[in-house]
């Protein structure tokens, strides 16, 4: 990848972060810019809080970004993003896929950019989530367990990885051109969806965790009718909603580690939603009776909080508040044993061991080990086969219900 074209364009003097959402919102509202104006009108009216001198400056940066990106778009759609709601609402979602956490660091260095050793797009990533991340471990983005475990990523593996890398290179090499192209792509998508009678939703962190409300708050004001939404592990973003744009919805993302779990509790206590990944099988995976024709049911409760099935769609902005947003493990996450994925041991089995998994979540969980062990020992063979190998090995030496086995905290369950 040659970033010479960006360097030749001169200095990108866009500040790292500029303004806060409230300043930007006040500016936009004072200018009466919430509904109906053309993008150019909106841009020109608030040019003082944008990193361009005028409309022509933005247009020049769009041109520069397009020259660098070629056919690659910043915002794309995917089957997951485009799952619609069953209630007939017509949404279309596009999102930004970049190399997650620190996975793009060496690639940036290889094209001549200086980045620090602790460079990351996900400041609150955990060991487990980085290993299991969709951005390097699922679907077409799957780099394979060896690359992910060793940190030796290949950003030339396919068009998908090349596109992720190009977006990050533009973001780091010429932030202003990145913003310009982002604005143009959102505008084009919104225009197309308006014509088609659809509502546009944008997920700017499909595989990253950038606080966009601080990084580029102008985006939300320029597109007041577009819905923005994200998952995040930066809990403070949810605990200070006054600083969130009104058209930006966040869902906290549970991962491994007690720090994350404490934060998940805080978010729930504040009325926010927490996403939890379960080992519940998906359609096409082996369950109790062979291959499942439909996704197995997620637990009904987690830590006493109702679980909704977030694999039915990606429309997190329509979720009720104060719920667990349940997801099934995908890609490399299916092998997770860090505690990032909640092992429910209900794989494909209804009404046997209930769906209230109590795993490694202090405060969210009440662990009753006796019942757990009892459930496993008397559970049927198929149930046992779904248990991660660490637990299965423990069973080999266990013959009666009275025996206890040493089970790691994150693998404890309660039979209800």
User: How many angstroms separate the CA atoms of 134 and 131, rounded?
Assistant: 9
Q: Which of 129, 226, 274, 373 touches ligand SF4 by CB under 6 A?
A: 129
Q: What is the C-alpha separation between 97 and 110, in angstroms, rounded?
A: 20
* Three-class DSSP category at 135: helix
Q: Are 209 and 184 in contact (CB under 8 A)?
A: no
Q: What angle do CA 2, 3, 5 make, to 5 degrees?
A: 105
CB 133 to ligand SF4: min, Å: 3
CB nearer to ligand SF4: give 14 or 207. 207
Pick between residue 233 and residue 261 the one whose CB is nearest to ligand SF4.
Answer: 233
Binding mask 214-233 for ligand SF4 (x = CB under 6 A): -------------------x
Q: Is 323 among the residues that bind ligand SF4 (CB under 6 A)?
A: no
User: Binding of ligand SF4 at residue 138 (CB under 6 A)?
Assistant: no
Closest distance to ligand SF4 from the beta carbon of 148 (Å): 11
For residues 371 and 414, the answer to whether their CB atoms sit within 8 Å is yes
338 binds ligand SF4 (CB under 6 A): no
CA nearest to 173, candidates 12, 1, 8: 12
Residue 180 · residue 222 · CB < 8 Å: no
Window of 125-133, 139-147, 181-189, 389-397 that interacts with ligand SF4 by CB under 6 A: 125-133
Residue 304 CB partners (closer than 8 Å, separation 6+): 356, 364
Shortest separation between residue 338's beta carbon and ligand SF4, angstroms: 12
Q: Which is nearer to ligand SF4, 208 or 365 (CB)?
A: 208
Instruction: Considering the complex, state which of residue 30 and residue 127 has its C-beta at the smaller distance from ligand SF4.
Output: 127
Query: Which lies closer to ligand SF4 via its Cβ, residue 99 or residue 224?
Result: 99
Q: Which is nearer to ligand SF4, 135 or 287 (CB)?
A: 135
Among 43, 46, 122, 387, binds ligand SF4 (CB under 6 A): 122
Taking the C-alpha atoms of residue 175 and residue 118, their distance in angstroms, rounded to an integer, is 20
Q: Is 299 exposed, middle or buried (0-12, 13-18, 19+ CB in 10 A)?
A: buried
Please state, in angstroms and rounded to a whole number, the distance separating the CA atoms of residues 376 and 281.
18
Q: Is 133 one of the binding residues for ligand SF4 (CB under 6 A)?
A: yes
Angstrom CA distances, 305 to 16, 276, 412, stand at 39, 11, 18
Using CA atoms, how far residue 141 sits from 79, 83, 363, in Å, is: 13, 19, 35
Report the nearest approach of ligand SF4 to the CB of residue 77 (Å). 18
Which segment (28-36, 121-129, 196-204, 316-324) binds ligand SF4 by CB under 6 A? 121-129
Stretch that binds ligand SF4, among 80-88, 122-130, 138-146, 306-314 (CB under 6 A): 122-130
276 binds ligand SF4 (CB under 6 A): no
- Residues 198, 71 contacting (CB under 8 angstroms): no
Confirm or reject binding of residue 316 to ligand SF4 (CB under 6 A). no
Which residue among 125, 238, 310, 383 contacts ligand SF4 (CB under 6 A)? Answer: 125
Residue ranges in 241-352 assigned as alpha helix (H): 258-269
208 binds ligand SF4 (CB under 6 A): yes
Classify residue 262 by burial, with Cβ atoms within 10 Å: 0-12, 13-18, 19+. middle
Instruction: Name which position in 187, 193, 209, 256 contacts ligand SF4 (CB under 6 A).
Output: 209
From 126-134, 216-224, 291-299, 357-365, span contacting ligand SF4 (CB under 6 A) = 126-134
310 near ligand SF4, rule: CB under 6 A = no
Binding to ligand SF4 (CB under 6 A) within 395-414 occurs at none
170 binds ligand SF4 (CB under 6 A): no
Q: Tell me: does residue 101 bind ligand SF4 (CB under 6 A).
A: yes
Binding status of residue 292 toward ligand SF4 by CB under 6 A: no
Contacts of 305 (CB under 8 A, 6+ apart): 268, 274, 322, 323, 324, 364
Using CA atoms, how far apart are residues 55 and 376, in angstroms rounded to an integer? 65
Which segment (1-9, 171-179, 201-209, 386-394) binds ligand SF4 by CB under 6 A? 201-209
Q: Which residues bind ligand SF4 (CB under 6 A)?
A: 100-101, 122, 125, 129-130, 133, 135, 207-209, 233
């Amino acid at each position: 990848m040659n970033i010479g074209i960006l360097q030749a364009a001169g200095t990108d003097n866009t500040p790292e972060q500029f303004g806060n959402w409230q300043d930007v919102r006040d500016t936009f509202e004072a200018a009466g810019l919430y509904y109906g104006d053309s993008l150019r009108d909106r841009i020109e009216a608030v040019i003082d809080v944008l990193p361009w001198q005028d409309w022509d400056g933005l247009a020049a940066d769009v041109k520069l970004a397009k020259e660098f990106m070629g056919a690659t778009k910043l915002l794309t759609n995917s089957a997951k993003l485009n799952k619609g709601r069953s209630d007939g609402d017509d949404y279309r979602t596009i999102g930004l896929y970049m190399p997650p956490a620190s996975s793009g660091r060496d690639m940036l260095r290889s094209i001549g950019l200086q980045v620090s050793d602790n460079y990351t797009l996900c400041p609150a990533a955990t060991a487990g989530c980085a290993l299991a991340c969709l951005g390097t471990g699922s679907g077409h983005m799957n780099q394979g367990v060896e690359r992910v475990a060793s940190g030796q990523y290949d950003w030339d593996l396919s068009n998908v990885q090349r596109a992720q890398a190009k977006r990050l290179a533009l973001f780091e090499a010429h932030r202003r051109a990145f913003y310009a192209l982002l604005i143009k792509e959102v505008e084009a998508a919104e225009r197309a969806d308006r014509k088609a009678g659809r509502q546009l939703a944008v997920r700017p962190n499909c595989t990253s965790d950038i606080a966009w409300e601080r990084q580029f708050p102008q985006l939300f004001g320029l597109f007041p009718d577009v819905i923005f939404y994200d998952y995040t592990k930066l809990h403070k973003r949810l605990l200070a909603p006054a600083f969130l744009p009104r058209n930006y919805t966040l869902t906290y993302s549970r991962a491994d580690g007690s720090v994350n779990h404490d934060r998940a509790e805080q978010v729930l206590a504040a009325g926010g939603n927490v996403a939890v990944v379960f080992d519940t099988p998906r359609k096409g995976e082996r369950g109790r009776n062979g291959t499942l024709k439909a996704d197995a049911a997620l637990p009904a409760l987690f830590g006493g909080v109702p679980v909704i099935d977030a694999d039915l769609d990606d429309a997190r902005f329509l979720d009720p508040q104060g719920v667990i947003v349940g997801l099934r493990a995908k890609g490399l996450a299916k092998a997770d044993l860090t505690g990032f994925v909640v092992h429910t041991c209900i794989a494909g089995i209804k009404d046997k061991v209930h769906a209230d998994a109590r795993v490694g979540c202090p405060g969210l969980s009440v662990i009753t080990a006796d019942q757990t062990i009892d459930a496993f020992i008397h559970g049927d063979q198929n149930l046992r086969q779904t248990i991660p190998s660490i637990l299965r090995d423990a069973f080999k030496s266990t013959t009666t219900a009275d025996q206890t086995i040493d089970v790691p905290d994150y693998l404890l369950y309660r039979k209800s």
